[in-house]
Amino acid sequence: MEFKLRVPASMSNLGAGFDTFGLAISLYNYFHIKSSDTFKITFENLDIKEEDNLFLKVYKKCLELFKKEPLPINISITSEIPFSRGLGSSSSAIIGAIKTFERVYNLELNLQEILRLAYGFEPHPDNLVPALVGGFNVCVKDVDDTYFNTLSFPKELKIIALIPEVKIDTQKAREILPKEISLKDAISNIQRSNLLLSSIISKRFELLREGIKDKIHQPYRKSLIPYYDDIENIAYQQGASAVFISGSGSTIGIFALEEGHIGNELVSFLKAKNIESSYRILNVDDEGTKIWS
């Protein structure tokens, strides 16, 4: 037995689309599985302790739930997705583990079954759905089921990820959020999330800057990202169409019609503040999880 698996990263929330909008992007976790004498997981470019190995935790849970004995296989993992940066590294590992288990034991799980398994480790469909099916997704998680619609994302928009060397704990980023919000703020987000969605669909890109505005999470989470307001201002001055926190941060997502000097300007700005960073120009991944022999 031998096969390979590729699972994309994701940008989620997209400003006003908190816990709803998710975009699969061209950064990946790669998994190479083949028969071996013993069960073993190795990371090609990372040093991860067993207690921190999310892939292993999910895989073991699948063995337990489906009452399977571990088969002797070697799983080699190579990751392009930085940890704790709001790019869905956890969701990619979770989906990778479930799909690996499914293939190793010749099971056929449907989308809802895969997502229910995944929710035991990650409760957010706006990361899990893009990792699984790819593309731009509008997601709703109900008690028992997940509803989502995968839409076409405009090829005219460049996707820029500014990735500071700042790790943000997802739990901390959740705890910083208010337990209640005002009706006024709720209405603001409903209005703008709909404006954002319709602007993407109709390619009214001049409306993205207004549609991306958020009152639920970004005003609180930006305090965890050094110089966020300055970064946003510089990006818009350089011609960005929309600027937002990817996931819970610290990655900042930018949509722009032209790449221009946005990435270089932001990296230079942070370097002057003694913060290392990098940027990537990304594409939408429309394939989601891909398996091949």
Tens of pLDDT along 224-248?
Answer: 999 999 999 999 999 999 999 999 9
291 domain residue, yes or no: no
For tokens 């296989």, name the residue: 73
Q: Which of 152, 171, 200 is the last residue of a domain?
A: 152
Strands 40-43 and 73-79: parallel
51 has a pLDDT exceeding 70 = no
What contacts 30, CB < 8 A, 6 or more positions away?
4, 5, 6, 77, 78, 79, 80
Q: Which of 121, 152, 183 is the last residue of a domain?
A: 152
Q: Which helix (H) or strand (E) holds 279?
A: strand 277-282
The verdict on 128 and 238 lying in the same domain is no
In the chain, the number of structural domains is: 2
Determine the residue type at 49: K
Q: Which of 100, 128, 152 is the last residue of a domain?
A: 152
88 domain residue, yes or no: yes
Average pLDDT over residues 93-103: 97
| Residue from 187, 194, 219, 220 nearest 208 by CA | 194
Average pLDDT over residues 169-197: 94
54 has a pLDDT exceeding 70 = yes
268 domain residue, yes or no: yes
288 domain residue, yes or no: no
Q: Are 54 and 29 spatial neighbours (Cβ–Cβ below 8 Å)? A: no
The verdict on 11 and 143 lying in the same domain is yes
The verdict on 140 and 163 lying in the same domain is no
Q: Which domain holds residue 70?
A: 2-152
pLDDT value of residue 44: 82
Cα angle, residue 216 at apex, residues 7 and 271 outer, rounded to 5°: 65
The verdict on 231 and 175 lying in the same domain is yes
Q: Assign residue 108 the CATH number of its domain.
A: 3.30.230.10
The verdict on 131 and 203 lying in the same domain is no
293 domain residue, yes or no: no
The verdict on 55 and 165 lying in the same domain is no
Q: Assign residue 268 the CATH number of its domain.
A: 3.30.70.890
The verdict on 163 and 244 lying in the same domain is yes
77 has a pLDDT exceeding 90 = yes
Q: Are 118 and 98 spatial neighbours (Cβ–Cβ below 8 Å)? A: yes
pLDDT value of residue 171: 84
pLDDT value of residue 293: 86
